[in-house]
Amino acid sequence: MPSTRRTAASTTAAAAVTLLVLATAGCTDSDARAYTVPGKVCGVAVDADLLSPFLPDGQKLTQRAYNSGQESPRCRLSVDGKLVVYVSGDIVPAETDPIKVQDRALVRLGNPASVDVGDSARVADNGAMAVGTCTYEGRPRKFVTSVQLQEKVPGKTSRRRDALRSFLGAYFPGAMAKQGCGQGG
């Protein structure tokens, strides 16, 4: 009989430890992201589910929009004071090819590949760029948006690239419209 008691006591102790670990893990996971993912990125509406994959766990998300000139809006998203996503937009002359101009930068972001967003776009391992022809202040121009991830979130590169493509596809038209760059050209 003593061996049966020992086995029962061991099983009960193991079950209690397992429950404690699961309960603790459950609390940790649900409290990992204390902030709400917004439905706008510096004034441009985008589904929070498309932004969420790039945002790490933390207590506070802040957004900072500013202009690097009249035709160059910028947006920085930080979690707990650490930059995690940087988004830029630029209106450039119609004859400029931003993808060609930024070729080296795209290569540094890791394995850029064409995707179907705007007139031309590339998605890399840690960032993306889209270009569209538009009319700005009555003249033909191009609008270019770049997204750079400062954290490797999501961790799996293929998931990160898919998330970038989805985000860029949703964000780009809204950013272009917000800047006053009408479709066409």
The mean predicted confidence, pLDDT, of the chain is 87
pTM of the predicted protein model = 0.81
**Span 172-184, pLDDT tens digits:** 999 999 999 987 5
pLDDT of residue 69: 86
**Span 123-172, pLDDT tens digits:** 999 999 999 999 999 999 999 999 999 999 999 999 999 999 999 999 99
pLDDT class of 1 with cuts at 50, 70, 90:
low
Q: Is residue 66 pLDDT above 60, yes or no?
A: yes
Q: Please tell me the distance from the alpha carbon of residue 157 to that of residue 2, in angstroms, as a whole number.
A: 54
